[in-house]
């Protein structure tokens, strides 16, 4: 699997935005005294959820149809 620079930068940008939003909400919650500052909430877009599900299903399918460790080992030949 290849992870491009663009993907890494996109994840970092999204994470930074979410951290900024949580900090803004935390400072607003301190004024009212009602927010829990230790909790973080991450939201995933519909496209992200779909990709995550497809990746999980693909992994499960390949895990079931792929060769098992024991099957891929060839028997040792012994000389008499």
pLDDT in tens, 16-67: 988 888 887 777 755 555 555 567 787 888 888 888 888 888 888 888 887 6
Number of separate domains in the chain = 1
Residue 41 covered by a domain: no
Q: Using CA atoms, how far apart are residues 65 and 74, in angstroms rounded to an integer?
A: 19
Residue 19 covered by a domain: yes
Confidence band, pLDDT 50/70/90 cuts, at residue 79: low
Residue 12 covered by a domain: yes
| Residue 14 belongs to domain spanning | 1-33
Whole-model pTM above 0.85?
Answer: no
Residue 59 covered by a domain: no
Residue 21 covered by a domain: yes
Residue 22 covered by a domain: yes
Residue 9 covered by a domain: yes
Residue 18 burial by Cβ neighbours in a 10 Å radius (0-12, 13-18, 19+): middle
């Amino acid at each position: 699997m290849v992870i491009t620079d663009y993907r890494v930068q996109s994840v970092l940008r999204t994470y930074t935005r979410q951290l900024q939003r949580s900090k803004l909400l935390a400072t607003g919650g301190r004024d009212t005294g009602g927010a829990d500052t230790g909790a973080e909430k991450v939201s995933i877009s519909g496209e992200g959820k779909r990709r995550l599900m497809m990746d999980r299903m693909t992994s499960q399918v390949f895990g079931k149809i792929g060769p098992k460790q024991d099957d891929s080992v060839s028997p040792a030949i012994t000389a008499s």
